[in-house]
Amino acid sequence: MLGYAGRILHVDLSSGKTWTEPLKEELAKKYIGGIGLGMRLYLDHSKPGLDPFSPENPLVLTTGPLSGSMVPTGGNGHAFVSKSPQTFGVGEAKAHGHFGTELKRAGYDGVIFYGKAEKPTYLWIDDDAIQLMDAKHLWGKTPQETEDAIRKELKDYYIRVACIGVAGEKLVRIACVMNDKSRACGRTGLGAVMGSKNLKAIAVRGSKDIAIPNKDRLLELVKQQHERMKGPAARKYRTLGTPENVLVLNALGAMPTDNFTGAVFHGADKISGEYLNERFVAKIIGCSSCAMRCEHITVVPEGPYKGTTTRIEYEPLWAMGPNCGVGNLDAILKGMDLSNQYGVDAISIGGIISFAMDLYKNGIISKDEAGLELNFGNHEAVLEMIKRVSMREGFGDILAEGAKIAAEKIGKDAAKYAVHIKGVEMTGYDIRGLKTAALGYAVSFRGADHNRHGAYGPDVAGKVNRFKAEKGRGKLVKETEDLYTIIDSIIVCKFSRGTYFKGFEDLAALYSAVTGIEMNSEELRVAGERINNLGRLINIREGLTRKDDHLPWKVMNVPIPDEGPSKGSFVSQEDLDLLLDDYYEVRGWNKEGIPALEKLNELGMEDLAYIVKDKLEHPEKSKRKIKTEE
Amino acid sequence: MAAVPKAEVAKWKMVSCDPDKCTGCAVCEYICSLTKENAFSAQKSRIRTMRLHPLINISIACRLCSPAPCVTACPRDALKQSEQTGVIMIDDEKCDGCSWCIEACDYGAITLHPEKKVVRICDLCDGDPQCVKWCPEEALDFVTKDILSQKARIAVAKKLFKEAMEASGVKA
């Protein structure tokens, strides 16, 4: 079992005890690594119904089987898993950079954190030496300052750090875990779970060899991937980057504006990938082992935000830009930089502020309540609000709960304007006119997210009628979901997905060449399906039901108003029911979205049948609505 | 130590990194350690990457200095420089890992092997450096110092050309 380090580190923050246990080969083969292994470890080491911020709720950190190897984009990944303070179901997020490489070199497939440290603490992993260090002097520092300070005090520049910012410390429900200063495990609020444990940072130095079974076999595959990554399959990421989406989606009437009011942004040419690259991009850099390089480093050349230097991608650009009515790229880049410094999910922060702006526009909150003139397009207010949410100041304290819970607190009709799924704010695809994607978003086990399924693909490419809900979409979503969970478990970069020409077959070849565990494409596909079912099972255990596979109120009630191809489109209840029924059937789940025992047996998950047995036998029990606690 | 004839030095080719092209991906470290040690390990790589800031990335291997301060610094005569290639050759029997050479090197191009406790320096893979071959950005080059200066001249001339064209209103 090469590739894998073969051991899991356990850290009890309450008692200060640490110990390691071997990683069982069967578990590795079945759940691969990354989010798959992470979710299984979470399930096995947690009790149902925990408050995400209670000390009993474990936080799991994993690497992938390819981490530490030369597989391009695969050598550097890591993932966090816990119960999400936004969805109250499974939370997971992965990131790239250099941190995952180092954790694997130190010799760990995963780390499980239990309990809560008495005072601010950071974990220092120096190969086999594990120490809990005082982090009082780091509390309140930005992730970037924290990384620098730790490297300085431990006197090694090559130490890699994953840590939280102030938002995580203050239990802001959209807090992320940052690594290598500009990379983030962004979604589902796991930075707040880390903060609830008084865990500021994880610092790693690893010096162990990553051995491989057969050098020539691996190098041949790496060479093939290098060549593909220089070709058209990765062109977008090497040139304009994901901001290329701005003009593409805008032309389709599929870029949400003003909190999912419109779907066409006027002034898109001033926030486009083309404009960004011409005016702001100073350099494109890469993560460890990457042969594509995509990280567009921008520098604001003039004006009040002059000198701001930050990475940018389409999603945060959209979230703090068009979704807040903002067309000022200088300010959007400043907002991105601030999000990284406070340590908040740069997508969700835009979704929360646009939600507040919508409330303001519709008279649900006043200027006095908001503390600011929250008009759409007021970029100064967006920047100020990023700070207030992250610091829990004034109205920001309510918004720091996330759009869903904030709406419950505000009352009136606020919930209609909270554009979220399972409590997680939407991302930058207007699914009113992308109905395959709408299904993918609705069923995503971590809440609203494009990265769980990529089901916008067939819609945007015109392979299906994107305005129509019809049978067959369930199969499309299932197929991309199964592939995407493998991408996040084996941990390669989603941006490289186009370079696996043969899908699972290419990924299985890489997995086998690194680990020496021979796996074929069908076995890997089944693992992908298994991991999707695992995500579902955790959510079922935590009380989520079919009702939670919902879409935002605006997506179902406000037709796209803009002239153009998408005009008038929205998703009706009938559409959604048809899509869900089709999807559940393809998945082998019942009408309530609960996996049938036959399906679990088929996937080798008999050991988890206990989660669904009662609910399958007494269907009325499964209709209980999840209680969101505080 | 006998001085190396100047004519020989001009023929030496070294691994040079263009920081404008380097993205900090460390593919050079991966392929170096795999080639030399049959495993992936940054510490055992003869070339190391350094990212000081997102905009500042560079990989560094032996610069083939002449005379070489590392050779001079070694108290045990464990290091010798090849007249033919400029490569610093290490006698593992004599090297005791004292690390005077590491201190003498201005570029951080010498590392201590973590297990063998002897130093390691780029040996140019017998004239076919694997890092140069595998660098996905073609940021690494295997060149003589004369070609290095030529490349710098081309770069500066291009910059002047662009400025001149822009001054005359033509977009270069």
Residue A628 lies in a domain: no
Q: Which amino acid is at A404?
A: K
Residue A1 lies in a domain: no
DSSP-based three-state secondary structure for A125: strand
In chain A, positions 64-93, which contact chain B (CB-CB < 8 Å)? 68-70, 72, 75
pLDDT cut 90: percent of chain A above it: 98
Cβ <8 Å between B27 and A210: no
pLDDT of B7-32, one tens digit each? 788 999 999 999 999 999 999 999 99
DSSP run (H or E) holding A18: strand A18-22
The DSSP-derived string for A429-490 is --GGG-HHHHHHHHH-TTSS-STTT-THHHHHTTSS-TT---TTHHHHHHHHHHHHHHIIII
Beta strands in A220-349 (DSSP E): 281-285, 295-299, 309-311
ipTM of model over 0.90: yes
Does B118 lie at the interface with A, CB-CB under 8 angstroms? no
pLDDT higher than 70, residue B45: yes
A435 shares its domain with A420: no
A416 shares its domain with A453: no
Residue B110 lies in a domain: yes
pLDDT of A575-585, one tens digit each? 999 999 999 99
**Helical H segments across chain B, by residue range:** 6-11, 27-37, 69-73, 100-104, 130-134, 145-167
Enumerate the residues of chain B whose CB falls inside 8 A of the CB of residue A291.
25, 27, 136
A175 shares its domain with A281: no
Enumerate the residues of chain A whose CB falls inside 8 A of the CB of residue B112.
none
Q: Averaged over B131-144, what is the pLDDT?
A: 97
pLDDT of B60-80, one tens digit each? 999 999 999 999 999 999 999
Q: Kindly indicate the confidence band of residue A339, based on its pLDDT and cuts at 50, 70 and 90.
A: very high
CATH of the domain at A605: 1.10.599.10
Residue A630 lies in a domain: no
pLDDT of A480-502, one tens digit each? 999 999 999 999 999 999 999 99
Query: Of A377, A408, A425, which marks where a domain is finished?
Result: A425
CATH of the domain at A408: 1.10.569.10
Query: Of A425, A460, A482, which marks where a domain is finished?
Result: A425
pLDDT higher than 80, residue A630: no
B2/A277: higher pLDDT: A277
Q: Is A406 left (phi over 0), alpha (psi -120 to 50) or beta?
A: alpha
CATH of the domain at A35: 3.60.9.10
pLDDT higher than 60, residue A193: yes
Q: Measured between alpha carbons, how far is A129 from A114 in angstroms, rounded to an integer?
A: 19
Q: Measured between alpha carbons, how far is B22 from B60 in angstroms, rounded to an integer?
A: 11
pLDDT given for residue A624 in this prediction: 52
Query: Of A138, A170, A205, which marks where a domain is finished?
Result: A205
Our count of domains for chain B comes to 1
Backbone φ and ψ for B45, nearest 5 degrees, come out as -75, 145
Q: Averaged over A108-114, what is the pLDDT?
A: 98
pLDDT given for residue A621 in this prediction: 64
pLDDT given for residue B167 in this prediction: 86
Does B30 lie at the interface with A, CB-CB under 8 angstroms? yes
Our count of domains for chain A comes to 3
Strand A295-299 with A309-311, pairing: antiparallel
pLDDT higher than 90, residue B56: yes
Domain extent at residue A285:
227-425
| Cβ atoms of B72 and B94 closer than 8 Å | no
pLDDT higher than 80, residue A623: no
Q: Measured between alpha carbons, how far is A451 from A440 in angstroms, rounded to an integer?
A: 10
Tokens at B25, concatenated: 């991906």
Q: Measured between alpha carbons, how far is B68 from A80 in angstroms, rounded to an integer?
A: 48
Residue A194 lies in a domain: yes
pLDDT of A495-522, one tens digit each? 999 999 999 999 999 999 999 999 999 9
Which range has the worst mean pLDDT, A97-106, A133-142, A591-600, B157-166? B157-166
Residue B162 lies in a domain: no
pLDDT given for residue A66 in this prediction: 98
| Cβ atoms of A423 and A628 closer than 8 Å | yes
Residue A210 lies in a domain: no
Supply the DSSP symbol for B116: T
Residue B169 lies in a domain: no
Enumerate the residues of chain A whose CB falls inside 8 A of the CB of residue B136.
72, 226, 229-230, 290-293
CATH of the domain at B138: 3.30.70.20
Residue B75 lies in a domain: yes
A300 shares its domain with A398: yes
Best residue in A73, A283, A293 to probe B by mutation, most B CBs within 10 Å? Answer: A283
Residue B156 lies in a domain: no
A375 shares its domain with A505: no
Backbone φ and ψ for A64, nearest 5 degrees, come out as -110, 165
Among A580, A555, A586, A551, smallest CA distance to A569 is for: A555
Give the list of residues 6+ apart from residue B129 with CB closer than 8 angstroms, or none. Answer: B15, B61, B122, B140, B142
Mean pLDDT of chain A: 96
Enumerate the residues of chain A whose CB falls inside 8 A of the CB of residue B57.
285
pLDDT given for residue B2 in this prediction: 55
Cβ <8 Å between A209 and B37: yes
Domain extent at residue B32:
7-143
Q: What are the beta bridge partners of residue A19?
A: A10
Across the interface, of A68, A158, A309, the residue whose CB is closest to B40 is: A68
A413 shares its domain with A533: no
Q: Measured between alpha carbons, how far is A384 from A381 in angstroms, rounded to an integer?
A: 5
Residue A26 lies in a domain: yes
pLDDT higher than 70, residue A628: no
pLDDT of A367-394, one tens digit each? 999 999 999 999 999 999 999 999 999 9
A166 shares its domain with A233: no
A471 shares its domain with A589: yes
pLDDT given for residue A629 in this prediction: 45
Cβ <8 Å between B54 and A309: yes
A348 shares its domain with A491: no
pLDDT of A248-275, one tens digit each? 999 999 999 999 999 999 999 999 999 9
A371 shares its domain with A421: yes
Supply the DSSP symbol for A491: I
Among A543, A260, A551, A606, smallest CA distance to A422 is for: A551
